[in-house]
Protein backbone atom coordinates (compact mmCIF):
# COMPACT_ATOMS: atom_id res chain seq x y z
CA UNK A 1 0.00 0.00 0.00
CA UNK A 2 1.37 3.42 -0.96
CA UNK A 3 0.94 6.05 1.73
CA UNK A 4 2.35 8.87 -0.36
CA UNK A 5 -0.09 11.65 -1.11
CA UNK A 6 -1.52 12.17 -4.56
CA UNK A 7 -1.10 15.56 -6.19
CA UNK A 8 -4.73 16.39 -5.34
CA UNK A 9 -4.26 15.44 -1.69
CA UNK A 10 -1.09 17.53 -1.45
CA UNK A 11 -2.92 20.53 -2.93
CA UNK A 12 -5.82 20.11 -0.49
CA UNK A 13 -3.40 19.95 2.44
CA UNK A 14 -1.55 23.01 1.15
CA UNK A 15 -4.85 24.85 0.78
CA UNK A 16 -5.73 24.03 4.40
CA UNK A 17 -2.32 25.25 5.60
CA UNK A 18 -2.70 28.53 3.73
CA UNK A 19 -6.24 28.90 5.09
CA UNK A 20 -4.99 28.30 8.62
CA UNK A 21 -2.20 30.85 8.32
CA UNK A 22 -4.55 33.50 6.96
CA UNK A 23 -7.62 32.95 9.11
CA UNK A 24 -6.65 30.90 12.18
CA UNK A 25 -3.22 32.17 13.20
CA UNK A 26 -4.58 35.67 13.92
CA UNK A 27 -7.39 34.41 16.19
CA UNK A 28 -5.96 31.28 17.82
CA UNK A 29 -4.74 32.90 21.04
CA UNK A 30 -7.89 34.99 21.47
CA UNK A 31 -10.08 31.96 20.81
CA UNK A 32 -8.20 30.08 23.53
CA UNK A 33 -8.88 32.89 25.99
CA UNK A 34 -12.54 33.62 25.16
CA UNK A 35 -13.85 30.22 24.04
CA UNK A 36 -16.34 31.98 21.75
CA UNK A 37 -17.72 29.79 18.97
CA UNK A 38 -16.09 31.01 15.72
CA UNK A 39 -19.20 31.11 13.54
CA UNK A 40 -17.58 33.22 10.82
CA UNK A 41 -14.65 30.80 10.56
CA UNK A 42 -17.02 27.84 10.19
CA UNK A 43 -18.68 29.61 7.25
CA UNK A 44 -15.25 30.05 5.70
CA UNK A 45 -14.51 26.36 6.21
CA UNK A 46 -17.69 25.61 4.28
CA UNK A 47 -16.67 27.99 1.49
CA UNK A 48 -13.46 25.96 1.10
CA UNK A 49 -15.50 22.70 0.86
CA UNK A 50 -13.80 21.44 4.02
CA UNK A 51 -17.14 20.48 5.61
CA UNK A 52 -17.98 18.02 2.85
CA UNK A 53 -14.57 16.69 1.84
CA UNK A 54 -15.42 12.98 1.81
CA UNK A 55 -19.13 13.27 1.04
CA UNK A 56 -20.49 12.00 -2.27
CA UNK A 57 -20.70 14.41 -5.18
CA UNK A 58 -24.36 13.56 -5.67
CA UNK A 59 -25.03 15.37 -2.39
CA UNK A 60 -22.72 18.32 -2.97
CA UNK A 61 -19.64 16.75 -1.42
CA UNK A 62 -16.11 17.09 -2.76
CA UNK A 63 -15.51 13.30 -2.92
CA UNK A 64 -11.90 13.96 -1.93
CA UNK A 65 -11.77 11.05 0.52
CA UNK A 66 -10.56 10.47 4.06
CA UNK A 67 -6.85 10.94 3.41
CA UNK A 68 -7.73 14.47 2.31
CA UNK A 69 -9.81 14.90 5.46
CA UNK A 70 -6.89 14.04 7.75
CA UNK A 71 -4.60 16.33 5.74
CA UNK A 72 -7.02 19.21 6.30
CA UNK A 73 -7.49 18.39 9.98
CA UNK A 74 -3.73 18.19 10.60
CA UNK A 75 -2.99 21.46 8.84
CA UNK A 76 -5.81 23.33 10.57
CA UNK A 77 -4.67 21.93 13.92
CA UNK A 78 -1.20 23.37 13.47
CA UNK A 79 -2.90 26.76 13.95
CA UNK A 80 -6.10 25.98 15.89
CA UNK A 81 -7.03 22.50 17.02
CA UNK A 82 -10.29 23.96 18.40
CA UNK A 83 -11.48 24.86 14.90
CA UNK A 84 -10.35 21.45 13.66
CA UNK A 85 -12.36 19.86 16.48
CA UNK A 86 -15.52 21.55 15.20
CA UNK A 87 -14.82 20.10 11.77
CA UNK A 88 -14.11 16.62 13.17
CA UNK A 89 -17.36 16.34 15.13
CA UNK A 90 -19.34 17.67 12.17
CA UNK A 91 -17.65 15.04 10.01
CA UNK A 92 -18.63 12.22 12.40
CA UNK A 93 -22.31 13.07 12.02
CA UNK A 94 -21.96 13.40 8.25
CA UNK A 95 -20.10 10.09 8.05
CA UNK A 96 -22.79 8.23 10.02
CA UNK A 97 -25.58 9.57 7.79
CA UNK A 98 -23.70 8.80 4.57
CA UNK A 99 -22.69 5.33 5.79
CA UNK A 100 -26.02 4.16 7.24
CA UNK A 101 -28.65 6.58 5.96
CA UNK A 102 -31.29 5.57 3.47
CA UNK A 103 -31.82 7.52 0.24
CA UNK A 104 -34.33 9.90 1.80
CA UNK A 105 -32.12 10.65 4.81
CA UNK A 106 -29.10 11.29 2.63
CA UNK A 107 -31.04 13.64 0.40
CA UNK A 108 -32.54 15.43 3.38
CA UNK A 109 -29.32 16.05 5.29
CA UNK A 110 -26.11 15.55 3.30
CA UNK A 111 -26.38 18.51 0.88
CA UNK A 112 -26.76 20.98 3.76
CA UNK A 113 -23.98 19.26 5.76
CA UNK A 114 -21.67 19.49 2.74
CA UNK A 115 -22.45 23.15 2.01
CA UNK A 116 -22.26 24.32 5.60
CA UNK A 117 -25.93 25.26 5.74
CA UNK A 118 -26.17 22.67 8.50
CA UNK A 119 -23.55 21.95 11.16
CA UNK A 120 -23.53 18.41 12.55
CA UNK A 121 -22.86 16.92 15.96
CA UNK A 122 -22.33 13.33 17.11
CA UNK A 123 -23.65 12.40 20.57
CA UNK A 124 -22.74 9.02 22.06
CA UNK A 125 -21.39 9.39 25.62
CA UNK A 126 -23.31 9.66 28.89
CA UNK A 127 -22.56 10.33 32.54
CA UNK A 128 -23.01 6.67 33.46
CA UNK A 129 -20.31 4.01 33.22
CA UNK A 130 -21.36 3.25 29.65
CA UNK A 131 -24.12 4.47 27.32
CA UNK A 132 -27.49 2.98 28.21
CA UNK A 133 -26.60 2.50 31.88
CA UNK A 134 -27.35 4.83 34.78
CA UNK A 135 -30.14 7.18 35.88
CA UNK A 136 -29.51 9.71 33.09
CA UNK A 137 -29.19 7.20 30.26
CA UNK A 138 -30.89 8.26 27.05
CA UNK A 139 -33.76 5.82 26.51
CA UNK A 140 -35.71 5.49 23.25
CA UNK A 141 -39.25 4.21 23.79
CA UNK A 142 -41.68 3.20 21.08
CA UNK A 143 -44.25 5.95 20.60
CA UNK A 144 -47.40 6.27 18.55
CA UNK A 145 -45.63 8.82 16.34
CA UNK A 146 -42.33 6.92 16.26
CA UNK A 147 -39.93 7.14 19.21
CA UNK A 148 -39.74 9.18 22.41
CA UNK A 149 -36.24 10.03 23.67
CA UNK A 150 -35.67 10.79 27.35
CA UNK A 151 -32.36 11.23 29.17
CA UNK A 152 -29.04 12.99 28.69
CA UNK A 153 -26.07 12.79 26.35
CA UNK A 154 -22.85 14.09 27.87
CA UNK A 155 -19.76 15.93 26.61
CA UNK A 156 -21.29 16.60 23.20
CA UNK A 157 -19.04 18.72 21.00
CA UNK A 158 -20.66 21.35 18.78
CA UNK A 159 -23.48 21.34 21.35
CA UNK A 160 -25.66 24.38 20.91
CA UNK A 161 -23.98 25.29 17.62
CA UNK A 162 -25.00 22.21 15.63
CA UNK A 163 -28.24 22.17 13.66
CA UNK A 164 -28.60 18.40 13.65
CA UNK A 165 -27.27 15.61 15.85
CA UNK A 166 -26.72 11.90 15.32
CA UNK A 167 -27.69 10.52 18.72
CA UNK A 168 -27.25 7.04 20.18
CA UNK A 169 -30.06 5.89 22.48
CA UNK A 170 -30.86 2.69 24.38
CA UNK A 171 -33.97 0.86 23.17
CA UNK A 172 -34.00 -1.72 26.00
CA UNK A 173 -32.86 -0.56 29.46
CA UNK A 174 -32.42 -4.18 30.59
CA UNK A 175 -29.88 -4.78 27.82
CA UNK A 176 -28.09 -1.46 28.31
CA UNK A 177 -25.26 -0.73 25.93
CA UNK A 178 -26.04 -3.78 23.79
CA UNK A 179 -29.41 -2.32 22.74
CA UNK A 180 -28.46 0.94 21.05
CA UNK A 181 -30.06 2.65 18.08
CA UNK A 182 -29.00 5.82 16.26
CA UNK A 183 -31.37 8.69 15.52
CA UNK A 184 -31.06 11.88 13.50
CA UNK A 185 -32.42 14.65 15.70
CA UNK A 186 -32.96 18.30 14.80
CA UNK A 187 -31.50 20.82 17.25
CA UNK A 188 -34.92 22.50 17.16
CA UNK A 189 -36.79 19.38 18.31
CA UNK A 190 -39.34 20.11 21.01
CA UNK A 191 -38.05 18.96 24.39
CA UNK A 192 -34.36 19.11 23.45
CA UNK A 193 -32.28 21.56 25.46
CA UNK A 194 -28.57 22.28 25.70
CA UNK A 195 -27.00 22.34 29.15
CA UNK A 196 -24.42 24.88 30.33
CA UNK A 197 -21.27 24.97 28.26
CA UNK A 198 -18.37 23.16 29.88
CA UNK A 199 -15.31 25.24 30.71
CA UNK A 200 -12.87 22.86 29.09
CA UNK A 201 -9.12 22.85 29.65
CA UNK A 202 -8.37 23.14 25.95
CA UNK A 203 -9.91 23.14 22.47
CA UNK A 204 -11.72 26.30 23.52
CA UNK A 205 -14.11 27.59 20.89
CA UNK A 206 -15.46 24.12 20.15
CA UNK A 207 -18.51 24.10 22.46
CA UNK A 208 -18.99 21.12 24.77
CA UNK A 209 -22.21 20.57 26.75
CA UNK A 210 -24.87 18.04 27.68
CA UNK A 211 -27.92 17.48 25.51
CA UNK A 212 -31.05 16.96 27.63
CA UNK A 213 -33.96 15.09 26.05
CA UNK A 214 -37.34 15.52 27.74
CA UNK A 215 -39.60 13.14 25.81
CA UNK A 216 -38.34 14.31 22.44
CA UNK A 217 -40.56 12.64 19.85
CA UNK A 218 -38.95 11.65 16.54
CA UNK A 219 -40.55 9.83 13.62
CA UNK A 220 -39.51 6.39 12.41
CA UNK A 221 -37.79 8.19 9.54
CA UNK A 222 -35.30 9.56 12.10
CA UNK A 223 -33.94 6.07 12.82
CA UNK A 224 -30.50 5.72 11.22
CA UNK A 225 -29.88 2.20 9.98
CA UNK A 226 -31.77 -0.55 11.80
CA UNK A 227 -32.91 -0.56 15.44
CA UNK A 228 -30.00 -2.85 16.36
CA UNK A 229 -27.29 -1.00 14.41
CA UNK A 230 -26.29 1.37 17.20
CA UNK A 231 -23.23 -0.58 18.39
CA UNK A 232 -21.65 -0.87 14.94
CA UNK A 233 -22.48 2.76 14.11
CA UNK A 234 -20.81 3.79 17.36
CA UNK A 235 -17.74 1.60 16.92
CA UNK A 236 -17.04 2.53 13.31
CA UNK A 237 -17.74 6.23 13.72
CA UNK A 238 -15.50 6.39 16.79
CA UNK A 239 -12.80 4.65 14.76
CA UNK A 240 -13.03 7.51 12.28
CA UNK A 241 -12.83 9.86 15.28
CA UNK A 242 -9.61 8.14 16.36
CA UNK A 243 -8.05 8.76 12.95
CA UNK A 244 -9.24 12.37 12.72
CA UNK A 245 -8.16 13.17 16.27
CA UNK A 246 -4.79 11.57 15.54
CA UNK A 247 -4.47 14.12 12.75
CA UNK A 248 -5.25 16.85 15.28
CA UNK A 249 -2.59 15.52 17.63
CA UNK A 250 0.01 15.33 14.89
CA UNK A 251 -0.83 18.86 13.75
CA UNK A 252 -0.41 20.22 17.28
CA UNK A 253 2.79 18.24 17.76
CA UNK A 254 4.22 19.45 14.45
CA UNK A 255 3.47 23.07 15.38
CA UNK A 256 5.21 22.57 18.73
CA UNK A 257 8.28 20.95 17.15
CA UNK A 258 8.65 23.70 14.57
CA UNK A 259 8.24 26.44 17.17
CA UNK A 260 10.78 24.80 19.50
CA UNK A 261 13.26 24.31 16.66
CA UNK A 262 13.00 27.96 15.62
CA UNK A 263 13.32 29.10 19.23
CA UNK A 264 16.39 26.93 19.81
CA UNK A 265 18.23 28.76 17.04
CA UNK A 266 17.65 32.16 18.64
CA UNK A 267 18.11 31.33 22.34
CA UNK A 268 21.76 31.76 23.31
CA UNK A 269 23.29 30.10 26.36
CA UNK A 270 26.95 29.47 27.16
CA UNK A 271 27.80 31.77 24.28
CA UNK A 272 26.06 29.81 21.56
CA UNK A 273 22.50 28.92 20.38
CA UNK A 274 21.01 26.05 22.34
CA UNK A 275 20.30 24.36 18.99
CA UNK A 276 23.94 23.33 18.99
CA UNK A 277 23.52 21.32 22.21
CA UNK A 278 23.20 17.56 21.81
CA UNK A 279 20.43 17.32 24.42
CA UNK A 280 18.29 19.84 22.52
CA UNK A 281 18.91 18.11 19.22
CA UNK A 282 17.89 14.79 20.76
CA UNK A 283 14.58 16.20 22.03
CA UNK A 284 13.80 17.75 18.66
CA UNK A 285 14.74 14.60 16.75
CA UNK A 286 12.58 12.37 18.96
CA UNK A 287 9.51 14.60 18.74
CA UNK A 288 9.84 14.99 14.98
CA UNK A 289 10.15 11.21 14.63
CA UNK A 290 7.01 10.60 16.70
CA UNK A 291 5.07 13.05 14.53
CA UNK A 292 6.32 11.39 11.37
CA UNK A 293 5.47 7.84 12.43
CA UNK A 294 2.04 8.84 13.69
CA UNK A 295 1.33 10.67 10.43
CA UNK A 296 2.18 7.55 8.43
CA UNK A 297 -0.14 5.46 10.60
CA UNK A 298 -3.11 7.77 10.35
CA UNK A 299 -2.68 8.12 6.58
CA UNK A 300 -2.62 4.34 6.32
CA UNK A 301 -5.90 4.04 8.22
CA UNK A 302 -7.48 6.81 6.15
CA UNK A 303 -6.36 5.17 2.92
CA UNK A 304 -7.99 1.92 4.00
CA UNK A 305 -11.22 3.87 4.45
CA UNK A 306 -10.87 5.36 0.98
CA UNK A 307 -10.47 1.84 -0.41
CA UNK A 308 -13.49 0.51 1.48
CA UNK A 309 -11.31 -1.82 3.56
CA UNK A 310 -11.59 -2.61 7.30
CA UNK A 311 -9.76 0.11 9.21
CA UNK A 312 -10.79 -0.15 12.85
CA UNK A 313 -7.66 -2.01 14.04
CA UNK A 314 -5.34 0.47 12.34
CA UNK A 315 -7.34 3.35 13.83
CA UNK A 316 -6.98 1.80 17.28
CA UNK A 317 -3.22 1.43 16.81
CA UNK A 318 -2.87 5.09 15.89
CA UNK A 319 -4.93 6.10 18.91
CA UNK A 320 -2.88 3.91 21.24
CA UNK A 321 0.42 5.23 19.88
CA UNK A 322 -0.62 8.84 20.38
CA UNK A 323 -2.21 8.20 23.76
CA UNK A 324 1.32 7.29 24.88
CA UNK A 325 3.25 9.89 22.89
CA UNK A 326 0.88 12.81 22.31
CA UNK A 327 1.44 14.67 25.56
CA UNK A 328 5.13 13.68 25.49
CA UNK A 329 5.48 15.75 22.32
CA UNK A 330 4.57 18.86 24.29
CA UNK A 331 6.54 17.90 27.40
CA UNK A 332 9.70 17.58 25.31
CA UNK A 333 9.18 20.75 23.30
CA UNK A 334 8.46 22.75 26.46
CA UNK A 335 11.77 21.46 27.82
CA UNK A 336 13.51 22.84 24.73
CA UNK A 337 12.06 26.30 25.40
CA UNK A 338 12.48 26.16 29.17
CA UNK A 339 10.80 28.84 31.28
CA UNK A 340 9.89 30.91 28.24
CA UNK A 341 8.01 27.99 26.72
CA UNK A 342 6.02 27.64 29.94
CA UNK A 343 4.84 31.26 29.73
CA UNK A 344 1.37 32.08 28.43
CA UNK A 345 2.72 34.59 25.91
CA UNK A 346 4.20 31.60 24.08
CA UNK A 347 1.98 29.14 22.13
CA UNK A 348 3.10 25.92 23.83
CA UNK A 349 0.77 26.15 26.87
CA UNK A 350 -2.23 26.40 24.51
CA UNK A 351 -0.93 23.52 22.42
CA UNK A 352 -0.39 21.49 25.61
CA UNK A 353 -4.01 22.01 26.70
CA UNK A 354 -5.34 21.22 23.25
CA UNK A 355 -3.35 18.02 22.77
CA UNK A 356 -4.78 16.62 25.99
CA UNK A 357 -8.24 16.84 24.45
CA UNK A 358 -7.31 15.23 21.16
CA UNK A 359 -5.90 12.15 22.91
CA UNK A 360 -8.71 11.78 25.46
CA UNK A 361 -11.94 12.54 23.60
CA UNK A 362 -14.34 10.26 21.77
CA UNK A 363 -13.24 6.86 23.03
CA UNK A 364 -12.87 5.14 26.41
CA UNK A 365 -9.34 4.51 27.63
CA UNK A 366 -9.44 0.75 27.02
CA UNK A 367 -10.83 0.99 23.49
CA UNK A 368 -7.55 0.70 21.52
CA UNK A 369 -6.16 -2.24 23.45
CA UNK A 370 -9.39 -4.24 23.29
CA UNK A 371 -9.76 -3.68 19.56
CA UNK A 372 -6.16 -4.58 18.74
CA UNK A 373 -6.08 -7.62 21.05
CA UNK A 374 -9.40 -8.94 19.70
CA UNK A 375 -7.99 -8.85 16.15
CA UNK A 376 -4.81 -10.64 17.24
CA UNK A 377 -6.66 -13.33 19.17
CA UNK A 378 -9.46 -13.95 16.68
CA distances from 84 to 106, 140, 171, 244 (A): 24, 31, 33, 9
Burial of 270 (0-12, 13-18, 19+ CB in 10 A): exposed
Residue 257's closest CA among 336, 167, 199? 336
CA distances from 9 to 24, 67, 239 (A): 21, 7, 21
Annotated catalytic residue, options 22, 344, 362, 369: 362
Q: Give the span between the Cα atoms of 356 and 326, in whole angstroms.
A: 8
DSSP 51: G
316 within 8 A of 367, measured Cβ to Cβ: yes
116-71-114 Cα angle (round to 5): 15
Angle between helices 312-341 and 230-266 (to 10 degrees): 30
Q: Give the span between the Cα atoms of 79 and 32, in whole angstroms.
A: 11
The counts of H helices and E strands in the chain are: 11, 10
Q: Is 22 a catalytic residue?
A: no
Q: Give the span between the Cα atoms of 349 and 189, in whole angstroms.
A: 39
Residue 344: HSE in the Cβ half-sphere, 13 Å Cα cutoff: 4
SS (H, E, C) 270-319: CCEEHHHCHHHHHHHHHHHHHHHHHHHHHHHHHHHHHCCCCCHHHHHHHH
Taking the CA atoms of residue 29, residue 31, residue 32 and residue 36 in that order, the dihedral angle to the nearest 10 degrees is: 160
Residue 362's closest CA among 240, 264, 265, 278? 240
Catalytic residue ranges: 362
Amino acid sequence: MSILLTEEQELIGQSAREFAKEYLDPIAAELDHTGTFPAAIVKQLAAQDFLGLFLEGAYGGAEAGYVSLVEVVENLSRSSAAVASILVNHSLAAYAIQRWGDAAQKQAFLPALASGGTLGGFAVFEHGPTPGVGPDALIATRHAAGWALKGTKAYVRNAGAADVYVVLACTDPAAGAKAQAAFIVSAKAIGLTVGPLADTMGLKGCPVADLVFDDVVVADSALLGGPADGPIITAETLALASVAEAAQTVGIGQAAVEHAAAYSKTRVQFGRPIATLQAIQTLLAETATDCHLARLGLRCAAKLMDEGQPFMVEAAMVKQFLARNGSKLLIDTVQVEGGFGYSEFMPLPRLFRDIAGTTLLEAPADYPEKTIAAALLA
